[in-house]
Structure 1
């Protein structure tokens, strides 16, 4: 009976670890000067998924977003083609620091929105949320894909 309990316990622990590993990619936290701000994110990390992004979406919850993982540090540029809702774009370094924020990108606008230097990630959130939450350059972003060797400044 003790062996059964031990095996059962090991199985449950393994199952919980697996579920945690699978679920962690959708949790992101921005640590700003006025607190921690959690988001549930969709991660896009292929050319096809990054190209589509949040196009054609009619709404985005205030605590939701999309994390673009470019898998290398480089300058990036976005536009709002076929994007129906205003978005804030949070440009993030490989170390997890917010490099810059572009607030309230206009729906359907084809104007280029560049990073202010090389980044590895971009978080898109509902337009106006960055200002509302006090998210700014120098804040730290915590996510399983981001190496957090940097500190908020």
Structure 2
């Protein structure tokens, strides 16, 4: 009888543990903002539907566990003030391009084709107020480069 009880307790612990792990691995789904994100490049304007990560929880989760992210979509991480920013790809299955953006909307640095699941630090290389993530290859395909301007009400109010 004691063995049966110990077995039941063991199975319950396994189930409880696996349920909590599954809950942690659920991808975060943020609403798409009513206003799109614009990136002005030498080749023209690029438009993206935008998810906004502006809380501690949403910034720390980002695109973790997401296996699908539309090519016309971006996620912006809002930090509120310019500072050095460190990102990583832990628990993120999709390769991404990270655009590190100053408070005035100028792209300071781009980390292209970041490695899925990597715990390596991806640094902004300069103080920035925002990080924008898009699918890997978008920066190259659309000609997005450091120095290009990003427009959205979160970055520059009513951009001109």
Category of TM-score, reference length = shorter chain: 0.7 to 0.9
What is the Cα-based RMSD across aligned positions, in Å? 2.1
The answer for the alignment partner of 2:138 in structure 1 is 129
- Is 2:46 the counterpart of 1:32? no
The answer for the alignment partner of 1:72 in structure 2 is 81
Offset of residue 65 of structure 1: 1.2
Structure 2 stretches lacking a partner, 5+ long: 1-31
Contact 1:25 1:144 (C-alpha < 8 Å) held by counterparts: no
The answer for the alignment partner of 1:58 in structure 2 is 67
CA 1:89/1:48 → structure 2, altered by over 3 Å: closer, same or farther?
same
Rg comparison, structure with higher value: 2
> Residues 33-74 of structure 1, C-alpha deviation per residue, up to 9 Å, x if partnerless?
001000001001111110000000001111101000001111
SS of 1:50's equivalent in the other structure is: helix
Match of 2:150 among 129, 137, 141: 141
Task: Detail structure 1 runs of 4+ shifted over 3 Å in the superposition.
Answer: 23-26
> Residues 103-140 of structure 1, C-alpha deviation per residue, up to 9 Å, x if partnerless?
00010011000001100001000011000000000000
Contact 2:33 2:51 (C-alpha < 8 Å) held by counterparts: no
Structure 1 stretches lacking a partner, 5+ long: 1-22
- How many residues matched? 130
The answer for the alignment partner of 1:103 in structure 2 is 112
The answer for the alignment partner of 2:101 in structure 1 is 92
- Is 2:71 the counterpart of 1:46? no
